[in-house]
Every structure is written in structure tokens, then in C-alpha cells.
Amino acid sequence: MSVDSEGAGPDAAGRVGRRVLLTGGHVYAPRDPFATAMLTHGGTIAWIGDDDAAHAYADDVDEVVHLRGALVAPAFVDAHVHLTALGLSLASVDLSGCRNADDLIARVGAAAGGAGVLLGRGWDETRWSDPRLPARDAIDAAAGGRPAYLTRVDEHSALVSSALLARIPGVAGLDGYDATGPLRRDAHHAVREAALATVTPEERRAAQRAALDLAAGRGIACVHEMAGPFLSSEADLLDAIALGAQPGLPDVVGYWGELDAAVRARDLGARGAAGDLCVDGSIGSRTACLRTPYADDPDTAGADYLGVDEVARHVVELTMAGLQAGFHVIGDRAADIVVDGLLAAAEIVGAEAMRAARHRLEHVEMLDDRHVAVLADLAVVASVQPAFDAEWGGDHGMYAARLGRARARTLNPFAAMSAAGVCLALGSDAPVTPLDPWGAVRAAAFHRTAGHSVSARAAFAAHTRGGRRAAGEEAEQPGVLMAGAPATYAVWNAEALAVQAPDDRIAAWSTDPRSGIPGLPDLGPGIPLPQCARTVLSGVTIHDSGSLG
């Protein structure tokens, strides 16, 4: 399918009152499953219907877009990103495709010329032919004496050069320090802070803009920025929120992840003191907090950064302030801590106040039935990343290597959460996994573990409407296409549209129009993912591939 247009070109200023008619496509509108046309007036959807009725509007609009079979759908919301890190990663040494330690050293050596801190990211030793990591002296030699900060794919540990360590007095005494290998926990936080301190404000804003431009090109009209101490800075969050308020870029909903920070979060313009306020770390770096030790390292069960009392205190403070609380939580023991803290907080402020606050948890990969029931009862949002399962799930993936197959098969139980009524909001955790919303929908619909999938339609809703609900925006931005709603949408060129059949496999697709359900792109394995032709936010075009004119 392809898209073209005629008539007046896009108005870069997005002036109020401009009328745009889209015809000849497929409009994903649940109230009109057979819609092929849509009219917008200024920043609002004025009408949705079929092409025959659209002729009545054609002579009184500023632009007519001939879709030629393309799909118009609500724009995506990415519920978990790190804009500066994502933008910087676009110009960093790409270590994601390394095959072994020698390959990593060669890539660092090829980029060693120049000055300043050498940034690299994305290495994942679980994919290497030999999982042994390079020694620090090899990194020193390859970097040519430059400070080097090379993050693991999960961003919870890093390989560093001696020149960077020399900038941090006392680093050898911090938790997570290793004399030759990767740094974790407090030591990693310290080296990350030192590395990012060399990024100028101008470079930071340029990185954020590059990340937002990339998001718009992927059909994303809103991102949730996860900021906080050790991750970024207050200035970083203020810049991101300010950029998101500029015309022509996606909206930015900010979160500041810090304990005892309700006032600071409000002063920063954040939606809450939530996001990556870490209760634990990651499975790949073996810092996710587990009930029993890692299968491939029985000497550790990870790390708990917060306790039940701290979780409860934080939730009570934010609830009483009318803001969202939230935490980064991955391991099953970390989930125990958070759920016990939520229940303790509910005893103090009441369950209804908790539900009204719509607190949120990030990642929540190792939930059991008790955890799910508490999240559902207290209306806690689960901000999840299906790409994690696509990258590291399955019987032969990183999760199975770290945890053993039996425990790995319990991870990311999207179906159980959805069935219990937990609000799911999908995101990428970029740059941990790429900005790829259709890939995330596919990953949720084709989970690597039987029984954990949700339908493509449910996953799409979680990546559009779910993100709006997660930030408390549903009243003003419902995340669906209907008359009276904001004109926030994306236009997609797709191979084919279909409806996923509700069978046990969640893997059969139908093109029968009698289903009465609007079609989505066929996301079956091997089928190319849709390409974004245009992204529009409240009537303003924030991305145009050029195929529209």
C-alpha cells in the first residue's frame, strides 16, 4: 500500500481551523469498523465515515489526503524512554552486534581517535560465542588512554576504562565495584554520572531532539521520560519537558524517580515521583532481586535497593500529594517488596485513594498471582516492554540462562495481567530496546511462552490508549479515533490488514469483514512491519515521510 495527497500542503504552523480530509484508506475507529475516511478540523477529529459520504466535504477543506489503502490509527505512546541516553546512543559506538570480547575491543579501538569520553553501548555477552568479558587493561589499550564508558544492553552495568575511574575518588569502595570486570550498583551509578557530566547542555538538548524526531518517525506522538538521580539530572528533565511542549515534536510526560521527592517532582513539572526509582536491577546484570539465587551464579540472588517501609512511605507521600508514585521492579523478590509496600500504604491512605492516584510499576517481569491481584485491586498500572521477551525470552534465551527454563517461563505474564484487569501500558525502555511500537505489539501477541500472549488488538490498545491512561491523560487524549477527540494519529503503509482470531494460540488472522472489527496490520512472523507515512499530534504534523506529497 502507499499514500499520496493533493490540494493544499501541510501547514507547518498548524493554525487553528485548518481542515484535512483523509479518504480511500482504513480508519481504525472502533465505533465505525468499516470507516475509510476521516475529517479533522484544527486539532480535533470532526467526522469519521466512508468515502461516499466524504465527497460532501471535499470542496471545503484545506487538504485532501488520498490514502490509497493505507491505515489511519491512533498514534502510539511509548510509556518508558530515556531521551538523552537514546539520543546519545545514536552517535555512540554500537556494541550490540559484537560476537565476542575481541570484537568489542576492535570496535572500541576503531573509535578511539578524538577527545572526551568515549561512549559505547549495547554489548550482551549472553549472545557471544565466548561469554568472557574483556579485561580493563585491554579496554585501556583499545581506548588509547581516553575515558571510556561502555554500557551493557540493559544499562545496569558497564565496562569502563581506567582513565574514567581516575575521575571518581573512592570508586573502589563503592558497592558493585570490580577491579577488572563490569561495574554494577553504586559503582556503576558513579561512573555513569561522571561520563554524562561531560555532555554539554547543547549536546544534551540535541540528543533529546534527535530522540524525539526518531519517535515521531515511528508513529509515536507521546513519550514518558524516566528521569531521576544517577540516571540523568533535573536540568535534563526540564529540557525534555520543554522540548515536548514545542510544536512539531511528540509530547513528553516526565517522571522523576526519587524517594521523598513529591515537592521536587511537582516543581520539575513531572507527573509523579515514579519511573526508574529502582527497587532492584536487571536480570542480565544479575542485579534483579530474586527469591532464590541465579541458576548461572548460585552465589547471588541480586540486590534490593529499597525495602517495604521505604516503598510504603513513598506511596503514602505521593498519594497524599495527588501525584503518581512508581518503581522499577523486575525480580520476584522485588515484586514481593513492592506489593507488600503497596498494601501497607493502602492501610494508611485507603484503597480508594490509592486507586485514584493510579500509581505505576515499570517492567514487573516476575509477577505471581498474588502480585497481579494486588495490582488489579489497587488500580496500579503495569508499564511493560514486550520487546524484552522477544529479545531474551524462550527456552534458549538469556532469561533461561540466568534463571533456568522453569523460572524463565513465568516471565512477563501479559495475559494474566490483562485478564485480571491490570492496565497495561507498553513501552520500549529505549535505548535498551529500540523505538519499535509495531514490533512491541507483535511481541506481545506472539509471546515466546505459551499462555502469556494477549491479542494484537489488546496490545495495540495498551500501546496507545494504555499509555494515555497510565499518565492520567485519557480525558483529554483518549487514545482512540472518534469525533470530538484530538486529531492525534499516524498513517501507516502495511502489507495487509486483518483481524486476529480469538483462538488458543492467538495466532490466527482473518480478513473476513463480517467480523465487524477494524483490522490491524497483519503482524504474523516474517511479515514486514508497517512503515509510518505521517504522524500528527492534535492536528499538527510532527513527521512526514514525504510519501504524502
Domains in the chain: boundaries:
4-75+481-544, 81-196, 257-454
Write out the DSSP string of 479-529: SS--TTSB--EEEEE-S-EEEE--STTS--EE--GGG-S--EE---TTSPP
pLDDT at 7 over 90: no
pLDDT score, position 516: 64
Read off the pLDDT of residues 492-510 as tens digits, 9 standing for 90 and up: 999 888 876 554 444 455 5
pLDDT at 153 over 90: yes
Read off the pLDDT of residues 179-210 as tens digits, 9 standing for 90 and up: 989 999 999 999 999 998 899 999 999 999 99
pLDDT at 305 over 80: yes
Write out the DSSP string of 429-460: TBTTS-S-HHHHHHHHHT-SSTT----HHHHH
Least confident window among 70-79, 122-131, 249-258, 517-526: 517-526
Residue 128: count other Cβ atoms within 10 Å of its Cβ. 17
SS3 content of the chain, % helix, strand, coil (to 5): 35, 20, 45
pLDDT score, position 115: 83
Least confident window among 70-74, 127-131, 319-323, 436-440: 127-131
For residue 400, give every residue at least 6 positions away whose Cβ sits within 8 Å of its Cβ, in sequence order, or none: 394, 408
Read off the pLDDT of residues 17-27 as tens digits, 9 standing for 90 and up: 899 999 999 99
Read off the pLDDT of residues 507-527 as tens digits, 9 standing for 90 and up: 455 555 555 678 899 998 889
Q: What's the start-to-end Cα distance of the chain, in Å?
A: 15
CATH superfamily of 4-75+481-544: Urease, subunit C, domain 1 (2.30.40.10)
Tell me the pLDDT of the chain averaged across its residues.
92
pLDDT at 124 over 80: yes
pLDDT score, position 506: 44
Decide whether 4-75+481-544 matches 257-454 in CATH topology.
no
Q: Are strands 381-384 and 360-363 parallel, antiparallel or unpaired?
A: parallel
AA identity, residue 350: G
pLDDT score, position 114: 80
Read off the pLDDT of residues 293-302 as tens digits, 9 standing for 90 and up: 999 999 999 9
CA dist 142 and 98 (Å) reads 15
Contact of 303 with 185, CB cutoff 8 Å: yes
pLDDT at 10 over 70: no
Angle in degrees, CA 216, 248, 84, rounded to 5: 60
Domain over 257-454 is classified CATH 3.30.70.870: no
Choosing among 3.10.310.70, 3.40.50.800, 3.90.1570.10, 3.40.47.10, the CATH entry for 81-196 is 3.10.310.70
CA dist 142 and 150 (Å) reads 12
pLDDT score, position 4: 44
pLDDT at 16 over 60: no
Report percent pLDDT > 70 for the chain: 94
Mean pLDDT of 410-420: 98
Confidence of residue 314 (pLDDT cuts 50, 70, 90): very high
Name residue 326's beta-bridge partners: 360
> What burial class does residue 69 get, using C-beta atoms within 10 Å of its C-beta: 0-12 exposed, 13-18 middle, 19+ buried?
middle
Alpha-carbon separation of residue 68 from 4, 73, 107, 500 (angstroms): 7, 15, 45, 23
Residue 130: count other Cβ atoms within 10 Å of its Cβ. 10
pLDDT score, position 1: 40
Write out the DSSP string of 128-145: SSS-PPPPHHHHHHHHTT
Mean pLDDT of 361-384: 98
pLDDT score, position 9: 38
Confidence of residue 529 (pLDDT cuts 50, 70, 90): very high
Cell of 69: 489503502
For residue 419, give the 3-state DSSP assignment: helix
The radius of gyration of the chain from alpha carbons, rounded to an integer in Å, stands at: 23
